[in-house]
Structure 1
Amino acid sequence: MEAERVLAGLDPEQRAVAEAVKGPVCVLAGAGTGKTRAITHRIAYAALTGVVAPQRVLAVTFTNRAAGELRARLRQLGAPGVQARTFHAAALRQLTYFWPRVIGGEPPKIIESKIALVADAVRACRLAFGRTELRDIASEIEWAKVTQHRPEDYAGAVATASRKMTVDVADVARVYDMYETLRRERNLLDFEGMLELTAAVLTEHREVAAQVREQYRHFVVDEFQDVNPLQKLLLDTWLGGRDDLCVVGDPNQTIYSFTGASPSYLLDFTRQFPDAKVVKLVRDYRSTPQVVRLANGVIGQARGEAARRHRLELVAQRPDGPDPVFNEYDDEIAEADDIARRARKLVEEGVPAREIAVLYRVNAQSEAYESALAAAGVPYVLRGAERFFERPEVREAVIRLRGAARAGADAETDGTGLIATVRHVLSGAGFSDRPPEGSGAVRSRWESLAALAQLAEDIAADDPRAGLPEFVAELEERAAAQHAPPLEGVTLASLHAAKGLEWDAVFLTGVVEGTLPIIYAETPEQVEEERRLLYVGITRAREHLSLSWALSRSPGGARRRRPSRFLDGLTPKTMTPVPARVDRTHRRAGKGPQPCRVCGRPLTAAIERKLGRCENCPAELNEDLLLALKDWRSQTAADQKIPAYVVFTDATLQAIAEHNPGSAEELAKIPGVGKVKLDRYAEAVLSLCTSTSPPP
């Protein structure tokens, strides 16, 4: 029987979720316990047994990517008609449909970013703020709107919530009021207004509410611990007093309270629905017992009655792995350098770079790791940068692939398969088997196309029968969900951005008082949210996990820091700081920007810091040496079968050609030449410097 097949392979708790086909149901699902598997099998089982019609189900998620994953899994399980959308996508669809009937006139334009309108409101209020303050004000307006506070009561709400502000509260309230005025005058609608207006239309127009409630009779909400008051208002409006609702969440992963999210809706679900069935998923299939033990140790020290009442203690299902590593460093530079070295070692041992992550509390910490990884020759990807499917080269490639699929390109490749077909089509967009030299726009374009080629290999491995039409369909679905294929490089991401992801190896950095918990976490509730953030970071790791901290910020600084309180009792009793392996203090220890060696102007751009001068300042460049270095790099990269930029970047070669070092010590002073590269390439580089030195 098809329905019984859906239940096969589920563990007892997952099966209990799947068989609870009628609401209300509350699933408390720990990290790595297969919550998506449980809820998709629940929906499919209910549909296949005739309890629900797939088109009557609305599954609500928080990201387009998660919605796309739900739809894909449900198709595979035989329930393709289920609507899986974010709150905003579902609201926009309903608002657009009913607008002509109940409101009429020109529909408002949806704004994706508030920054421009906030800037106009600031000017209208005769205030002046920089871009950082504008972002902070925009975030405050979002918080006020999702928590249902108007401009006139904003100041009181901030005081009650103990929010820390970088801008005067009175000024934010003034800008908020003007923002709303300008938004209405210009017929604009932001995401919060979209949810609020949809709820209002359903409330004020009974015929609309009846139609929506007839369409959607069964609801599933994922990540329920992250629901905010405005989203809860819309959900209650959709339900209309009914209780056929299944919610899934993890109170241990509540990390978005600062945006207005409230875990109370998850924790108090049985108060709203006393007859609700509650199922706990605690079998962790993601991480090794060693990682799980540390995660349980961190979250087991959580304080507060709610934390104790709803604690989920994970039970590892994987075989043993290595113990988590705790490292203490003298300074942040030494910490970054050693982590880059260890990341390279993992890559050399066979761990793919895309299966390694360096996670930190705030985005400002990324710069040190970008520099250290580049110096160690380790490729990296900064999460949160430009959206993959919006890159020009990716859009062009998708158009080419779509055209090839329509033209029946599969038949023209003599049956060589999906991989060869995709590579052939991508070659027309500039893709080649060998990466280009350098690390600029050309390299970035090649990496984007290489990610598409790799995705074709992954799909072919999963389904050898897949052809170009299936590949194009997968691309279009991923584009709609912003589900980018992984790029080949170590991931750099904040702990917030890492939620929902996982890697074979994770480096948790800056686990020190003042950073984690962050210095402005003052109330007990704020401190506990920081603990949960560390828990999220730990549970991203499948096998290798490293936690580290630095005793001082800069080399030579006072060693006054101490490890995060969240690690009390969980680290070795004695810690010896890991010594710096390369003395790089001469180029990164200064408190101010590095000065140009020609004109003395502070250098801010990365390439200028590497060259040691402004790009426009004159410099003595040994052209013959630069050409010789580039030829040597090309041959070395070919011999080692690695991209040329991994040997040395163009900027580093230019810096070498300008400085013309005469010894290993002088070569080591050039940014981009770390110990690894010094050991590997110093002899060859210095030989070229000597043989191509200009005559005196």
Structure 2
Amino acid sequence: MNFAWDDDELNPEQSAAVIQNGNVFLIACPGSGKTRTLTYKIAYELSKITTHRDFVLAITYTNRAADEIRERVEDMGVDASQLWIGTIHSFCLEWIIKPYYIYEPDLAQGYSLIDLYDREKLLEELCLPYKLLKVTFHDCDFYFTPDGLHLACKNGSKVNAVKVVLTEYFKYLKKHRLIDFELILWYAFDILKNNQIAAKNLAGIFRNILVDEYQDTKELQYEIVSYILRKSSATNFFIVGDPNQAIYDSLGGYPIGLDDLKIKTGLDFHQMELSKNYRSSERVVSYFGNFNLYKTNIEACGKDKGYQSIVSYDREVSKDKLVLEIARIVKHNIVELAIVPRQICIIAPWWVHLASMCRKLSAELPEYTFDGPGMVPFARDVENIWYKISRIALTEPSPGMYIRRMRWAKEILVDFENLGMHLDNFNNKDFLRTCNSIKLDEHDGISYLRDFFAALIAEMSIDLECYPTLMQHHQTFFESSEKRVAQLAKEGIAEASDIKYFRKLFENRTGITVSTIHGVKGAEFDAVIAYGLLEGMVPHFSDANGQESAQKMLYVVASRARKNLFLISEVGRKRYGNEFYGPTRKLIDCNFRYDNF
């Protein structure tokens, strides 16, 4: 029996996209219910499966998005046992590299994943000889396309040094049989390119492939999916996103056009759209329409459509007064406009500006909490096994968390099995029961986790010395955590070492969000405050498509807001020498009647 819904659950555009047979290329404007539509499409296709051999594959941009969609599908009463949903990296690792690594010469003798902390530490060491050129690991981002390696760094004075650093980096990885996130994609692509059996097997498993946020998908990812699609005439492809929000160009983001997609996949598509914005007021929609590069259709249709929004632009506040001004805007929204703190977001283009801003605002507004960078005691390193275990260790057993914790437990057991552990008759329920039985009276966060991990190892009779990868992940996890806690304590966040502070990492956010433009994609807030809107930051000074990129970034910033939008190009931020950043040109060129605030 096919999954069905009431007329008031989806609008006509959304319903049409869900029930459309064949291949669909769906352009979705901000706030149009893209995730809702994708969720219903997945549920609908799952309900049509008639054999245990067929699966639905859904590729999301983040693990958080995957968790959210899976939970929604399960909440609708649909059996999700034949759904695989996750990031492209997780898919490539689980379905391509692990089963077929012996066909890839560089992997045939075995491999391990280098986690984010060790990767950063290694690149920092390799950059040391180029300190005078100010080369850091931040300059060493790269990505692959079908024709090979591409550097994210466009700074002419650093490029040659970065090439040398990355040459040494790849040598080190090869010598120690390590792969990182980008190499996961490259090797998956190479396996499918040279091994038609692998692509054919995958095509026989997945009858539907869905890709979210296509505008942020890399060209290599399209190639990986295309190898599978070309091996089956029975597999349908559903791709959804918004080209106006393609802000990952410098890291290989590839907002593919429909004609190119047809050529790459060899498929015909039904081009469809979601044009109803249910998020923002008419005034906000009218504003971000100024940055609608691809002239897609957008119509304000939500409950806040008629809200009398404040849209302001400040080009006069000085950098030295910026914290006080943002604090004033925050208080006005909460006290005068009755907006709750968790519905306020503060955005800047670069992480380096945000950690300091987050801490200064915490001091200026101690009555409110802030969820932002530099405020968490350990990194969200989803490839580190001990990080995965910490998610269970730091969350309480509850009905609302049961399904999520069960899924986490399953991931951990799969990792253990991949390390060669034999856990016969020990399932995810047993693992959760074991974790829940560990009771500790420890108030220091790091000590709590050390004791929890030790107790778990003892309960499961695991000898760490038999598993070098497990030991390395353990060492890395605590080195990174101790470094972060020490830094937070140094900067006045004394409570950072407390177990309550650690638990906050996995609680639903209740404070004011502080994030980058890239970090808030997909999110929405009643009030958005964006600063650092300066030429050289928005767009980035090394961006070859600067003005187009600036237009897309401003579109993303403005379209996060439901009700109020506050834009700031502060004065007095030094660039180099005696030069100062000026306002983003695309903002200056925007002819809009701003509010005085």
Q: Same fold (TM over 0.5)?
A: yes
CA distance in 2, matches of 1:41, 1:130: 54
- String of CA shifts for 1:346-367, please: whole Å, max 9, x gaps: 3335433222111111223322
Identity of aligned residues (%): 22
Question: Could you tell me which amino acid in structure 2 is paired with residue 353 of structure 1?
Answer: P
1:172 to 1:394, Cα distance in 2 relative to 1, 3 A: closer
1:247 to 1:48, Cα distance in 2 relative to 1, 3 A: same
RMSD: 3.7
Give structure 2 stretches of 5+ with no counterpart: 382-386, 403-437, 445-491
CA distance in 2, matches of 1:275, 1:68: 30
Per the alignment, residue 260 of structure 1 pairs with: 252
CA distance in 1, matches of 2:280, 2:288: 10
CA distance in 1, matches of 2:286, 2:48: 39
**2:372 counterpart of 1:398:** no
CA distance in 2, matches of 1:526, 1:566: 13
| SS class of match (1:235) | helix
Per the alignment, residue 424 of structure 2 pairs with: none
Q: 1:570 Cα shift?
A: 3.5
**2:308 counterpart of 1:322:** yes
1:187 to 1:210, Cα distance in 2 relative to 1, 3 A: same
Per the alignment, residue 676 of structure 1 pairs with: none
CA distance in 2, matches of 1:131, 1:79: 56
CA distance in 2, matches of 1:401, 1:45: 29
Aligned positions of 1:532-611 closer than 5 A = 532-553=552-573, 561-562=582-583, 564-572=585-593
CA distance in 2, matches of 1:345, 1:445: 33
Q: 1:40 Cα shift?
A: 1.8
**2:341 counterpart of 1:353:** yes
CA distance in 2, matches of 1:562, 1:138: 28
**2:135 counterpart of 1:136:** no
CA distance in 2, matches of 1:499, 1:38: 18
1:7 to 1:268, Cα distance in 2 relative to 1, 3 A: farther
- String of CA shifts for 1:527-582, please: whole Å, max 9, x gaps: 1111111111111112222122234338xx99994564335344448x98x8xxxx
CA distance in 2, matches of 1:130, 1:445: 41
Q: 1:296 Cα shift?
A: 0.9
Q: 1:76 Cα shift?
A: 2.5
CA distance in 1, matches of 2:11, 2:173: 51
**2:237 counterpart of 1:245:** yes
Query: Is the CA contact (8 Å cut-off) linking 2:315 and 2:583 kept in structure 1?
Result: no
Question: Could you tell me which amino acid in structure 1 is paired with residue 56 of structure 2?
Answer: V
Q: 1:55 Cα shift?
A: 4.5
- String of CA shifts for 1:126-152, please: whole Å, max 9, x gaps: x4448962313431xx23x346435xx
Q: 1:188 Cα shift?
A: 1.3
1:61 to 1:180, Cα distance in 2 relative to 1, 3 A: same
**2:269 counterpart of 1:276:** yes
CA distance in 1, matches of 2:380, 2:164: 37
Question: Which of 118, 121, 125 is residue 123 of structure 2 equivalent to?
Answer: 118
**Which protein, 1 or 2, shows the higher relative CO under an 8 Å CA cutoff with sep ≥ 6?**
2
Per the alignment, residue 420 of structure 1 pairs with: none
Q: 1:526 Cα shift?
A: 2.5
Q: 1:30 Cα shift?
A: 0.9
Question: Which of 211, 215, 223 is residue 221 of structure 1 equivalent to?
Answer: 211
More divergent stretch after superposition (30-39 vs 271-280): 271-280
Q: 1:219 Cα shift?
A: 0.6
1:72 to 1:132, Cα distance in 2 relative to 1, 3 A: farther
Per the alignment, residue 330 of structure 2 pairs with: 343
- String of CA shifts for 1:188-208, please: whole Å, max 9, x gaps: 122222222223333433433
CA distance in 2, matches of 1:183, 1:443: 33
Query: Is the CA contact (8 Å cut-off) linking 1:137 and 1:167 kept in structure 2?
Result: no
Per the alignment, residue 92 of structure 1 pairs with: 93
Q: 1:116 Cα shift?
A: 3.9
More divergent stretch after superposition (318-327 vs 221-230): 318-327
- String of CA shifts for 1:39-80, please: whole Å, max 9, x gaps: 221222233245897942111112111111221122233141
Per the alignment, residue 365 of structure 2 pairs with: 376
TM-score of the superposition, structure 2-length normalised? Answer: 0.72
| SS class of match (1:546) | strand
**2:58 counterpart of 1:59:** yes
1:87 to 1:346, Cα distance in 2 relative to 1, 3 A: same
Q: 1:380 Cα shift?
A: 1.6
CA distance in 2, matches of 1:26, 1:297: 25
Q: 1:429 Cα shift?
A: 6.4
Aligned positions of 1:96-175 closer than 5 A = 96-99=98-101, 106-113=109-116, 114-119=119-124, 127-129=129-131, 133-139=135-141, 142-143=142-143, 145-146=144-145, 148-150=147-149, 164-165=154-155, 167-175=157-165
1:374 to 1:74, Cα distance in 2 relative to 1, 3 A: same
- String of CA shifts for 1:406-442, please: whole Å, max 9, x gaps: xxxxxxxxxxxxxxxxxxx9996669xxxxxx95126
1:289 to 1:185, Cα distance in 2 relative to 1, 3 A: same
Question: Could you tell me which amino acid in structure 2 is paired with residue 547 of structure 1?
Answer: L
TM-score of the superposition, structure 1-length normalised? Answer: 0.62
- String of CA shifts for 1:62-120, please: whole Å, max 9, x gaps: 21111112211222331412111211111111222334688796420111333344356
1:376 to 1:328, Cα distance in 2 relative to 1, 3 A: farther
Give structure 1 stretches of 5+ with no counterpart: 406-424, 432-437, 453-483, 579-696
Query: Is the CA contact (8 Å cut-off) linking 1:551 and 1:561 kept in structure 2?
Result: yes
Per the alignment, residue 632 of structure 1 pairs with: none
1:336 to 1:54, Cα distance in 2 relative to 1, 3 A: farther
Query: Is the CA contact (8 Å cut-off) linking 1:121 and 1:182 kept in structure 2?
Result: no
More divergent stretch after superposition (189-198 vs 260-269): 260-269
1:266 to 1:181, Cα distance in 2 relative to 1, 3 A: farther
1:552 to 1:117, Cα distance in 2 relative to 1, 3 A: closer
1:446 to 1:129, Cα distance in 2 relative to 1, 3 A: same
Q: 1:491 Cα shift?
A: 1.5
Question: Could you tell me which amino acid in structure 2 is paired with residue 333 of structure 1?
Answer: D
Per the alignment, residue 364 of structure 1 pairs with: 352
Per the alignment, residue 169 of structure 2 pairs with: 179
Question: Which of 469, 494, 516 is residue 440 of structure 1 equivalent to?
Answer: 494
**2:258 counterpart of 1:204:** no
CA distance in 1, matches of 2:186, 2:540: 33
| SS class of match (1:550) | coil
Q: What is the count of residue pairs matched by the alignment?
A: 490
Query: Is the CA contact (8 Å cut-off) linking 1:202 and 1:237 kept in structure 2?
Result: yes
Query: Is the CA contact (8 Å cut-off) linking 1:393 and 1:429 kept in structure 2?
Result: no
CA distance in 2, matches of 1:164, 1:214: 42
Question: Which of 291, 295, 310 is residue 298 of structure 1 equivalent to?
Answer: 291
Question: Could you tell me which amino acid in structure 2 is paired with residue 446 of structure 1?
Answer: K
- String of CA shifts for 1:123-181, please: whole Å, max 9, x gaps: 7xxx4448962313431xx23x346435xxx6xxx7xx9x6226533333333333322
Query: Is the CA contact (8 Å cut-off) linking 1:393 and 1:448 kept in structure 2?
Result: no
Per the alignment, residue 287 of structure 1 pairs with: 280
